Amino acid sequence: MRGGFYSKFSREHDGAWQSSLLTRKNLRFYAQLVATQRKSLAIALVVTLLHTVMGLMPPLVAQQMIDHHILPGIPEGMLLWAILFFLLQGGAWFFAYHQRLLTQTIGQRAVADVRQQLFHQLLHLPMVFHEKQQKGALTSLVMNDVGALSAAVTDGIVGFISDTATLLLMIWIMYRLHPGLTLWLLATLPVVLLAMALLGRHIRQAFREVREKMAALNTQVEENFAGIRVVQSLGVQQQQEQDFLDVSEGNLQAGLKAMVLLALVFPLTSLTTGTGTALLLWYGGVQVMTETITLGIFVAFLTYLRKFYQPLRNLSDLYNTYLAALASLDRIMTVLETPNPLAVKDALSPLPEPLRGEVIFHQVSFAYDENQANVLDNLSLVLRPGERVGIAGATGAGKSTLAALLMRLRDPSTGSITLDGVPLPQIPPEQLHRFMAVVPQQVFLFSATVAENIAFGRPGASREAVEAAARQAMAHSMITSLPEGYDTRLGEEGAGLSGGQRQLIAFARALLKDAPLLVLDEATASMDVALESQVQASLSKLLENRSALIIAHRLSTLKQLDRICVIEKGKLAACGDHASLMKSSLYYRQLVESNVVSSRPTSAG
């Protein structure tokens, strides 16, 4: 229940994080992120430079006041200098405020864009991708990793320029004031940089560990809640709690380690500022006494010194933030760049409307994994327009897989499936999915109202349309008996409804979609006998003017259909109506005799 996708990415990344700091790929991605906001970025940069310059002027004004007015005792003009000091300081604050607003806006917009891109990609990546991922890790990717990227984009670009400019300008001003004193101060720099680099490295590692543990914790929480029925019914809460405690402890320890290291940053900076100040007081003080420098210059230096280490610390923080983001960026890029084998292949050829609706499976073979045996084997089947075809077969014969291929949740390994002569991969997905409505074996309902769940396949459908579909699906009386009828809010994954009730809602959902082809995969399997009989009775009406592919075990369902096709171990064994199959297909006869295809109410679907 742990690690998986997320930690896999972390491990892959471990050896690479230092070298991949500024790869062209990463830079291109950052550039793309802010490409739509070039104007805001340019304004932010101008504002940043104004803030930098204005912020560094006041000590020079103070120096002028001390050296040219206070020490010689000339009060005239002092007020003007004081006003200038105030204006510069006020201007610096004004621009600092706007710089923050602008950079936050740019960063948050960029992050919202990435989140959107990721969500889009994840919604479109094929089942084979999702089956290999843990939901918690994907949630962590969309939330935490994108969040880590946010800091790098928000503070990164403008922050880097602002701090570098501040540092360089400050050194230049100080050098102009007194080169000797400046070089004296700069001499302390290598020690400070080395200390910061060493500490930074450990902090980065600690934070990476925190994020990995967090992802594992996320996965564990999500899986336990998603599988709460299993956990409770097996009575394994204690074991799960213990597992949680272990991961949580790991997370705590990693967090504490990171905090201890972070706590060292402030004393370290204070120590370096203190050392610098002590040196300046001693060396600079002597210079003042020997009149090598003026008191004004000395005071200006002291003021600059207080500001000197801040941009350095910012740059080091920024470096950490960027590296932290890099680990996330890697994971995000890997998902964004995962090729989608189900993507529309060649040039799209929108089907001429109205569709005839002929579906042809031509020599279709399919295996879930390259190394596994074919689940469908050279299967050819034609669904004529308006035809209702039943699919029968033993458990595991490949019936649901056939439906999944038709819905293009997966593509055949070999062979093709065409709709009106056009291969499915060339049909725009919206058009393909408008063509069919599905009632799957395992119904998924969202934590929304019953009405919203029914309207899921046709957003914006009116309440009347929703109710009409529910009536058609025999779901109306069940829904009106719920506490708030159609407005009853369901729990996550439809909690609060029985399996049969969920299937009724899925039926209504499919009918509201009003698609020309209805795919039912054991759609009545969870209903009780009475309800199922009602749905059965109205099935032929439901199927009026529609083609249908109906996977069923129930003889009464299959008998209503135009044709029954029997699948035996992934191969098409026979097709025909019930009577002819009983005569011609030994396998079908066996299915009926062994009650796999059954008229008894206990059988599924």
| Min separation Cβ 474 and ligand ATP, Å | 23
Question: Per the omega criterion (within 30 degrees of 0), is the bond before 350 cis?
Answer: no
Is residue 400 close enough to count as binding ligand ATP by CB under 6 A?
A: yes
Q: Are strands 547-551 and 517-521 parallel, antiparallel or unpaired?
A: parallel
| Min separation Cβ 375 and ligand ATP, Å | 4
Is residue 76 close enough to count as binding ligand ATP by CB under 6 A?
A: no
Is residue 413 close enough to count as binding ligand ATP by CB under 6 A?
A: no
Q: How far apart are CA 216 and CA 248, in angstroms?
A: 9
Q: How far apart are CA 167 and CA 161, in angstroms?
A: 10
Q: How far apart are CA 375 and CA 356, in angstroms?
A: 29
The span of 17-25, 302-310, 389-397, 489-497 binding ligand ATP (CB under 6 A) equals 389-397
In whole angstroms, how far apart are CA 582 and each of 170, 388, 494, 573, 595?
A: 94, 19, 40, 13, 14
Q: How far apart are CA 473 and CA 272, in angstroms?
A: 76
Whose tokens are 């101008």? That residue is 46
| Beta pairing partners, 360 | 382, 418
One residue of 180, 285, 396, 421 binding ligand ATP per CB under 6 A: 396
90-149 residues near ligand ATP, rule: CB under 6 A: 131
Measured CA angle at 205 (ends 313, 222), to 5 deg? 120
The span of 40-48, 84-92, 292-300, 394-402 binding ligand ATP (CB under 6 A) equals 394-402
The span of 30-38, 234-242, 388-396, 430-438 binding ligand ATP (CB under 6 A) equals 388-396
Is residue 603 close enough to count as binding ligand ATP by CB under 6 A?
A: no
Amino acid at position 573, single letter: A
The span of 133-141, 286-294, 392-400, 418-426 binding ligand ATP (CB under 6 A) equals 392-400
Is residue 526 close enough to count as binding ligand ATP by CB under 6 A?
A: no
497-516 residues near ligand ATP, rule: CB under 6 A: none
Is residue 374 close enough to count as binding ligand ATP by CB under 6 A?
A: no
| Min separation Cβ 566 and ligand ATP, Å | 11
| Min separation Cβ 368 and ligand ATP, Å | 3
Cβ proximity to ligand ATP: between 154 and 401 the closer is 401
Phi, psi of 463 (to 5 degrees): -60, -35
The interaxial angle of helices 24-35 and 295-336, nearest 10 deg, is: 100
Contact 116, 158 (CB under 8 A): no
327-356 residues near ligand ATP, rule: CB under 6 A: none
Is residue 375 close enough to count as binding ligand ATP by CB under 6 A?
A: yes
Cβ proximity to ligand ATP: between 247 and 394 the closer is 394
Contact 284, 298 (CB under 8 A): yes
One residue of 29, 94, 184, 368 binding ligand ATP per CB under 6 A: 368
DSSP 268-294: HHHHHHHHHHHHIIIIIHHHHHTTSS-
| Min separation Cβ 407 and ligand ATP, Å | 13
420-449 residues near ligand ATP, rule: CB under 6 A: 441
Is residue 398 close enough to count as binding ligand ATP by CB under 6 A?
A: yes
Q: Which residues bind ligand ATP (CB under 6 A)?
A: 131, 368, 375, 393, 395-401, 441
